[in-house]
Structure formats: C-alpha cells, structure tokens
C-alpha cells in the first residue's frame, strides 16, 4: 500500500498482483498529481508478504519458491518530465504484526506509529532501509485492478456470550471492515460454509491451523486488512457482547459486464448471474479457481470458461495478462505448468495435462478472434509453437496424447475419473490444434497452420482407432459407458463419417436412462447443452439444466446458492468455482443463436434455436465493432423479433418464424412483428 501525504496513491488494492518473481516483476503506474503539495511531501509504503515471501507450507510449494526473500519495493516519481528516484528510505514495524494470503492478519492499533504517513513525522530513530538490485525483468501489470465494490452489512445471530455469526447472503471475495470504537480485541474468521459443529475454518492444503482469521485490536481507527483477501459468506466474530460493528467488504477485479441477458426461464437467468458472480469473486490478478482454498490460476478452469467469460465480461486484459503468466512457466522443453503463476509446481504434479495447458493456444485464439486483433497470438507465437512441439514429442506408442486430469470432477468423483484419460487429452489437443490452424492461417502463418492441421488429423485418427467401436457406435474408455468420452468427439467434429448419429443416439439414451441427468465433469459440461440443441434436443437440454434432483444447475439454485459450486455434490469443497458452469455459452450462441463467423465480429450469424422453447429472450453484448443483439417476445398476441447489427458488420440471420433461406443484413436495428 502506497500513501502520499496520508492518502492512498490509488484505489487499487493488491495491485499489480503476483508473478513468478524470478522471471518477472509486475509494475503499476498511478497519477498522483492531485495528492502532491508544496513544499514537502510524505510518501509512505506498507509491505506484506503475499506470494513473494509465503511462510506457511502449502501443497503448491509457495513456501519453497526460488525467489523468496524479505518483502521489497521500487518506486519512481515523474515530476515535470523528470524521473525522481528517492534515495533514502527509513523503515519500522507497525500495527500489522502478521500477514498471510491464506491465514489472515493480526493487527494491533497500539503498535501503529501515530501520524507516520504525514509530513512532519519524525522518523529519525528508524533505521535506514537496505536497498538491493532485482535480477529479473519488469512488466506492466495489465489485469483488471482490484477495487472495493461494496460494503455489506451482515445479518447477525448470537452464538454465545461474546460470539456472533454474520451472514452476507452469498459467497463473495474480500475482507472484513472493523469500525472504530472502545479499545477491544476481536477475532474474526471468514468462511464459505458452515458445518454441524460450527464454521468450516480449515484448509487441507495448508500446514497451519489458522485460516482466514483476523486477530484485531482497535480503538480510534477503522481497520481493514491490506495484504490478504478471502472467499466467504459467513463472518464469525468473538470478543464482544454487543452486535459486532463489522462489515463484509466485497472486492475483486473491477470488470464491467459486456453482455446483458433477459430471459423468461428463471433457471437460465440464475445460471447467467451466478456465473458472473463466481468469475468476479475469482478475479484477483489472475482468474483463480477459488478465492478461498487455493487462489491458483488453474489453466484448465480458464480454458473451458473463456468463451462464456468473453461473452459476459470485459475481461480481455485480464485473460491476456494470464496468458503472459502461463507463458512464463514454459520450460526449455516447451512444457507449460498447469497453474500460473507457479513457484515451480505443476510440471510433475497434476501433469502432464494437455487438456489444461492447451489454454495458452486456445485463449490466445479466442481473444484474437473476438477482437479481430491478431497480436494476441503473434506476440506469443514462439511460445505456442514450442508447446505444440513438446506435445508432439511425447505422444505415446499409439499416437495419443497423455493426460492425467481428464473430465475433472464428474459426479461421484473427487478428481480425475477412473478411465483411460488419453481420449479426453487427445480430443482436446486435436481440437485446439484445429482452432490454432484456422487462426494462424488467418494471420499468414501458413506453414505452422498446415503443421497443426496435420497433427490434429493424425491425433483424431489415432483416437478413433484406439477407442471407437464401430459395431457399437460408441467410444469405450473403461468398463462403463462414459458420457464425456462420447460427447467430446461428437461436439468437436471428430467422430468417423456416418457414425455421428449412432454416437448421439447412445448419448441420448444414457442421459434419459439417468432420468434426464448428466454424468459429466468440467470438460463435458462445456459442450453438453450446445450439442443437444444443435442436434435438435433442446427440450432435453432444458430438462437436464432444470432437473431439481441434480446434478444440475437447478439443484444449485434450489439450494439457495448465488454462485457456482466446484463439484456437483452439495458438500462441494468450494462454493465459488466457475468451471462447471462454462456450458452457459449455450444460452448466447445456441438458444439466442448469436455466433461470430469472422474475426472481430465483422460478420456474424443469428440462428435462434431457442425461439420455440422460450417465450422471451433478449441478449445483447459488446464487441469490437459495437453492440450485437437479438431479442424476441412471444408472450403477447403478436410475436416481436429484433436484431442489432453494429457499424462495419454484416449479419446472416435465419428468422425463426420463416421457412425461407437466411437473409443478409447490414448495420442497424431490425424489427419484425408477426
């Protein structure tokens, strides 16, 4: 935290975020002109440990990071066009006696030097700070700045004479805020969920009994932590007989919505809002897998969710920044880690996993295609090519890709499914190479494009040779029928010619035999609903999403959640995990029928396959060209249909109430009434 004359230098918190510090340190830049005064100024800096100097042992080995050292900073002022580097700093300890990303903080107001941030404070007794040179490189932090979004007043209930439990209503990310008052010692613990015996205040991934706990001694000043954040819904406070003057603060990456959905189906409306809530709760420098238990940038979570993220949020800069972190993990062999940033974990652990690390190529292409800007790919093309070479070099004797994660957290599992995971690894790798071939062809990298296309074709042939049973019309990866193993090749156009219908029929049969319920993890759920609708089974897709018994979106909604869960079990570890909800793209691309055809939305298609199934739908999103949108209302005597085409774009629309051919339209707002 940087203050100038007692005021924060910026509203940004935890910015510019963490990195693999032995490779790169992120920087931030703020305009502080309005804070400066003549003739003297005071610049005060508070440092915490963060991911740079994590002491608590974790399974991801942050405590063993090669860069670990005492916290440090560098600061440069630009005054009247001249760069000024303050040469002398003095340092001391303050009110923050302990800080940890996972464990929380300890604050004692009586240890905080009075007025130390203001001009005139006498720091002569403080020792001079020791300078040191950083051997790595610097890069401007470009992710969405983390900012306070709102302050929430919890609903409190007394648990004991001096113990209270507050509920902020849904899982959010942020921290507590303590009001000033009489001198007191409070213990504040933030948790996502409750247990029979109280709050669930433990983390199996830490070697510590302390978790998201804030030991706070206050008097005259309000207090909130500066060096940690939490995922939480409940606030446990001990140490006061009165209703606590403690609020919940919601803070995350300041990312605006890029899309607006109005839909008559309440389950789908909930899904849309819950996905946005969950992604936002995980926007802390990188899109994390959970703001509570891990705070890691898992590549596989981002991979399946990028399309829905780009449709709903202005998240391009944060995804682009994440790809830089993922590229930073690359070894000389071309291998990428499964998390980014990483302290060196994720090359042997939970690896290899091309169904995860394909994120680098896929999301770079997604960003280029969505914006029409090829630099998302070209600036990291060498890294992508090295990764492709690495994956090509380690195909097994059957010509298949090997992965260890697969269709993660399918119902009834606690991790990877117990089957031959080479199918999902090969299918996803082949599909990523096909996408990469198309994008690199567009940007003129024809030789590499041909290589990707050939490798993808060979992978699909090897996959079908090993797993597809023509006489059965299905893919076999174990002792029982697996939905995702059959769904992925079908959804990704990899099924042998003339067998697609048979594979689809088996999938339909299994879904119906399970009582209109899926049995898929994060990979399958990305494609399930879109595949069903594109093959004429929209009613079934809606029944699966709306099944009250679960696993389903509706089961989560009925349980009172406002965010998505990590797994399909109601006792899921995390209650703020977005990757199982990535199939949401179905609403926008298939039910609304709004799909990009050319990069940058210069040409798009509208084929609203949900028209006959939904009385009302309006979907409008921001694109590189402006707003695109489709809407209808069939709830009145006459049906209304509307289409929005931005300047510089053309749209091919298939009117849902017409049997004629698709029509081509230019910019404007087009309306039909029937």
Each residue's pLDDT tens digit, 279-292 = 999 999 999 999 99
Over the stretch 443-498, which tens digit does the pLDDT of each residue have? 999 999 999 999 999 999 999 999 999 999 999 999 999 999 999 999 999 999 99
- Closest-CA residue to 520 (of 530, 512, 511): 511
Residue 135: pLDDT above 70? no
Q: What would the two tokens of residue 355 be?
A: 């169904």
**Cβ atoms of 307 and 355 closer than 8 Å:** no
Q: What is the pLDDT of residue 198?
A: 77
Confidence of residue 430 (pLDDT cuts 50, 70, 90): very high
Work out the percent of the chain whose per-residue pLDDT is above 70. 100
Q: How many helices (H) and strands (E) does the chain have?
A: 15, 31
C-alpha dihedral, 120 to 121 to 122 to 126, nearest 10°:
-140
Residue among 30, 40, 37, 33 nearest 1 (CA):
30
How sure is the predictor about 200, in pLDDT bands with cuts at 50, 70 and 90? confident
Is domain 599-673 given the CATH code 2.60.420.10 in the classification? yes
Which pLDDT band, with edges at 50, 70 and 90, does 195 fall under?
confident
| pLDDT over threshold 80, residue 196 | no
DSSP 60-106: T-GGG-TT--S------EEETTEEE-----B----SEEEEETTTEEE
Question: Selecting from 3.40.50.300, 2.60.120.260, 3.40.190.10, 3.90.1580.10, what CATH number does the domain 148-253 have?
Answer: 2.60.120.260
For residues 39 and 646, which has the higher predicted lDDT (pLDDT)?
646
How does pLDDT run across 207-263, given as a tens digit for each residue?
999 999 999 999 889 999 999 999 999 999 999 999 999 999 999 999 999 999 999
Residue showing tokens 């959640």: 561
Instruction: Please determine, for residue 131, whether its predicted confidence score (pLDDT) is greater than 90.
Output: no
For the chain, what are the domain ranges? 148-253, 259-591, 599-673
Note whether 164 and 243 are within 8 A (CB): yes
| Integer Cα distance of 183 and 217 in angstroms | 7
Q: What is the pTM of this model?
A: 0.97
CA distance 87 to 84: 9
pLDDT at 648 over 80: yes
Q: Indicate the average pLDDT of the chain.
A: 96
Distances (CA, A) of 197 to 76, 159, 193, 251, 339: 52, 12, 12, 29, 34
Cis peptide bond prior to 352, omega within 30° of 0: yes
Q: How confident is the model at residue 130 (pLDDT cuts 50, 70, 90)?
A: confident
Spatial CA neighbour of 298 closest among 395, 172, 415, 169: 415
Grade residue 1 by pLDDT with cuts at 50, 70 and 90: confident
| 3-class DSSP string for 177-191 | EECCCCCEEEEEEEE
Core vs surface per residue 601-632: b (16+ CB within 10 A) or e: bbebbbbbbbbebbeebbbbbbbbbeebbbbb
**Sheet containing 43-45: order of strands:** 7-8, 2-4, 43-45
Distance, CA of 109 to chain centre: 36
Between these two residues, 106 and 660, which has the higher pLDDT value? 106
Residue 622 scores a pLDDT above 90 = yes
pLDDT class of 181 with cuts at 50, 70, 90: confident
More confident residue, 80 or 426: 426
Angle at 551 between CA 549 and CA 554, to 5 degrees: 65
- Least confident residue range of 97-106, 256-265, 311-320, 566-575: 566-575
- Dump pLDDT digits (tens) for 408-428: 999 988 899 999 999 999 999
Are residues 178 and 245 in contact, defined by beta-carbon separation less than 8 angstroms? yes
CA–CA dist 503, 542 (Å, integer):
21
Average pLDDT over residues 498-509: 98
DSSP state of 113: P
pLDDT digits 0-9 by tens, 356-397: 999 999 999 999 999 999 999 999 999 999 999 999 999 999
Percent of all residues in the chain with a pLDDT value above 90, rounded to a whole number:
91
| Average pLDDT for 305-326 | 98
| pLDDT at 136 exceeding the cut of 80 | no
Q: Out of 1.50.10.10, 3.40.50.2300, 3.30.420.40, 3.40.50.1450, select the CATH number for domain 259-591.
A: 1.50.10.10
Contact yes or no for 205/58 (Cβ under 8 A): yes
């Amino acid at each position: 935290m940087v203050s100038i004359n007692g005021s924060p230098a910026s509203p940004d918190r935890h910015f510019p975020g963490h990195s693999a510090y032995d490779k790169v340190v992120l920087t931030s830049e703020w305009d502080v002109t309005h804070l400066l005064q003549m003739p003297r100024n005071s610049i005060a800096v508070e440092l915490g440990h963060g991911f740079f100097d994590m002491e608590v042992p974790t399974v991801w080995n942050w405590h063993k990071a090669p860069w670990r050292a005492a916290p440090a900073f560098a600061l440069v002022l630009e005054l009247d066009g001249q760069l000024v580097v303050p040469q002398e700093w003095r340092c001391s300890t303050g009110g923050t006696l302990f800080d940890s990303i996972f464990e929380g903080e300890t604050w004692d107001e009586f240890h905080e030097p009075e007025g130390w941030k203001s001009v005139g404070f006498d720091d002569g007794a403080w020792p001079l700070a020791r300078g040191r040179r950083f051997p790595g490189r610097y890069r401007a932090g470009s992710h969405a700045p983390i900012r306070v979004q709102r302050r929430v007043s919890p609903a409190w209930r007394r648990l004991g004479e001096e113990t209270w439990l507050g509920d902020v209503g849904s899982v959010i990310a942020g921290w507590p805020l303590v009001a000033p008052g009489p001198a007191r010692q409070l213990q504040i613990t933030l948790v996502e969920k409750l247990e029979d015996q109280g709050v669930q205040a433990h983390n199996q991934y830490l070697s510590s009994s302390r978790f998201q706990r804030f030991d706070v001694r206050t008097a005259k000043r309000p207090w909130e932590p500066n060096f940690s954040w939490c995922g939480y819904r409940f606030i446990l406070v001990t140490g006061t007989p009165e209703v606590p003057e403690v609020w919940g603060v919601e803070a995350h990456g300041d990312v605006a919505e890029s899309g607006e959905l109005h839909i008559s189906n309440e389950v789908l409306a909930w899904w849309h809002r819950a996905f946005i809530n969950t992604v936002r709760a995980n926007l802390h420098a990188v899109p994390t897998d959970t703001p509570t238990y891990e705070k890691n940038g898992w590549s596989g979570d981002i991979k399946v969710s990028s399309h829905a993220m780009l449709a709903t949020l202005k998240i391009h800069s944060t995804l682009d920044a994440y790809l830089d972190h993922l590229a930073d993990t690359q070894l000389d062999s071309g291998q990428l880690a499964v998390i980014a940033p990483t302290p060196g974990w994720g090359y042997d652990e939970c690896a290899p996993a091309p169904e995860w690390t394909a994120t680098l190529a896929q999301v770079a292409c997604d960003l280029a295609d969505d914006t029409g800007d090829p630099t998302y790919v070209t600036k990291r093309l060498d890294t992508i090519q090295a990764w492709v070479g690495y994956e090509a070099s380690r195909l097994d004797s059957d010509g298949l890709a090997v992965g260890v994660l697969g269709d993660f957290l399918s119902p009834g599992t606690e991790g990877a499914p117990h089957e031959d995971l080479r199918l999902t690894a090969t299918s996803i790798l082949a599909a990523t190479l096909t996408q990469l071939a198309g994008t690199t062809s567009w940007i003129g990298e024809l030789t590499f494009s041909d290589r990707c296309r050939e490798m993808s074709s060979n992978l699909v042939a090897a996959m079908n040779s090993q797993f597809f049973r023509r006489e059965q019309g299905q893919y076999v990866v174990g002792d029982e029928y697996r939905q995702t193993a059959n769904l992925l090749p079908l959804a990704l156009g990899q099924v042998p010619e003339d067998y697609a219908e048979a594979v689809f029929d088996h999938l339909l049969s299994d879904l119906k035999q399970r009582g209109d319920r899926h049995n898929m993890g994060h990979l399958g759920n990305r494609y399930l609903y879109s595949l069903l609708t594109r093959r004429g089974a929209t009613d079934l897709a809606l029944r699966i999403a709306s099944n009250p018994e679960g696993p389903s979106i509706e089961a989560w909604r009925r349980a009172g959640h406002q965010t998505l869960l990590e797994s399909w079990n109601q006792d899921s570890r995390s209650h703020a995990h977005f990757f199982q909800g990535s199939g949401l793209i179905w609403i926008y691309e298939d039910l609304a029928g709004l799909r990009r055809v050319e990069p940058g939305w210069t040409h798009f298609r509208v084929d609203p396959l949900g028209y006959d199934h939904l009385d009302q739908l309006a979907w409008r999103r921001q694109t590189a060209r402006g707003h695109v949108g489709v809407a209808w209302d069939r709830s009145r005597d006459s049906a209304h249909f509307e289409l929005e085409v931005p300047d510089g774009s053309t749209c091919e629309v298939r009117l849902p109430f017409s049997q004629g051919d698709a029509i081509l339209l230019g910019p404007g707002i087009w309306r039909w009434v029937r």
